[in-house]
A and B are shown apart, each in its own frame.
Chain A
């Protein structure tokens, strides 16, 4: 089963390699990984998407906690959380297709971030499913290049 795990770590060189080394060394999967600094300069945040049965996910979480530079680990999957991913897509767009690309962009609330005479570059934000849907449609027109961020996730505030 797919799990989204939120990890706070010391913002130090080598820490990411401890985390990824743990996954490769123990044969755990990483589906995606997002890392960036936080408001606190000493802390970085990793959102990690992985897959495995219950026993493996439990091991992943415990093993992460065991790393000295890991401050906090939360499995967001069983909690109510928001998940977002972003993609940049360069789409071939000539003649009649230019309007079609813009229409799709409009429907899915994508932004056009770069324009050339025969391409558009779109920025798409949403869940993985939404991104897949847009990319599926754009593929029929002709995608030149795609980059995706992997998932970011955050727990929803509990409502009183």
Chain B
């Protein structure tokens, strides 16, 4: 059995779903649990072809509830475990992920967003932002990376396993149907060859010794008897989350220094926005570009700083204001005006953004 899935690095031309499977392999994922739903299916297809060659496992479950809860079980056994889903499957996934939040379990879930609400389209959207960042009956104690291209899908899937096991919050890679199905060039690599150290998984259950004799038993609960008991646990979680948020939060930006108008977007839409902003700047129109890479936690300081200098934000997304709501909360009190270009469940081109900006600046 070959030791490493990738030696050094390799230039490839792949679909995003294939990229995710390779990234999970090199990140040391040991088991995937999954249930078919478009547009994430090929993650399972590639994983089931690659996994046996490297001693990794797969289980096809009866639904996404089971895919999420078996992932929880895999993590409890001390394995790097993950699943992938989309749309209505993401809805079901919120139940197991709320348990992962309650117990601080390092599950990794890859979401390839599709149209909503309901079954809608199998194609594409950015309509799973609210659910992925704040879903479940909880407080959003999770980490969400929104990727824009295949290189990032590879980089951030590896990173997601490290972040999850380092900080012990459930971690999501938020892609979409375009990224899932599109073929693109990227460099895949052995993380060690880039100096990326993989965080080791460790078992919660089945540690050496007899519980109660050689060691205390590991007993994890999510149910509390009194309000104060729950409050104390959550206060601890919020403190931890607040502490790690600045370490985890990421964003990219350019052209902010001289711009009154800043185009804000995330994920694959940020590619259109980046191209549009470059084109507009070359034409002498001063527009800035800002993109949160983590949607949870958001890069709040950077958003507030930008929102304090700029006069207007143009929020561009393939949803009816799901990113905009997060931004409004983060920028609350800043004097920035929020303008929008929302196309729920529909792709956005650089031309769309350019014409919207021209409409605004006149």
> Are A and B a genuine interacting pair, yes or no?
no
Residues of B bordering A, CB below 8 Å:
none
Residues of A bordering B, CB below 8 Å:
none
